[in-house]
Amino acid sequence: MSFFGEFFWFLLWSFYFIAYLYVVIVIITDLFRDHKLNGWLKALWIIALIFVPFLTALVYIIARGKGMAERATAARGPMISEADDYRPAASSSPADDIAQAKALLDAGTISQGEYEALKSKALGNQYFGA
């Protein structure tokens, strides 16, 4: 077998070994995350992972896969939408919004059309409770 063939097989087996180690680490992490499973069953799963590793990992993922996802989601905590971080601050009143828009118009920052749009938005917000 050539050098490149041996190198290819080495890379392939290295990938499989690292992937297997990742699966074992995920399974052990999930075992310790599960508070409903008692200590004896956790020890039994770990012993099985040591003596029959591939079959045990496969059975564990098939039998407890849904619970693994739920426990991982619970461990991450509640998700907050990114949009919540960028909400503009609520204005104090429509009159303040119109005054700010007028100041921008007078400074030449916005056009007359943009001023009218901001003004109508501020007045619309007053009536719709936004």
**32 in Cβ contact with 72 (< 8 Å):** no
Cα–Cα distance between 118 and 111 in angstroms, integer? 11
Give the contacts of 56 (CB within 8 A, at least 6 positions apart): 45, 48, 49
**24 in Cβ contact with 58 (< 8 Å):** no
Select, from the ranges 1-5, 31-35, 72-76, the one with the highest average predicted confidence (pLDDT).
Answer: 31-35
Count of the separate structural domains present in the chain: 2
Cα–Cα distance between 80 and 47 in angstroms, integer? 39
Domain that holds residue 56: 3-76
18 and 68 housed in the same domain: yes
pLDDT reading at 129 higher than 70 = no
34 and 61 housed in the same domain: yes
- Identify the pLDDT of residue 96: 84
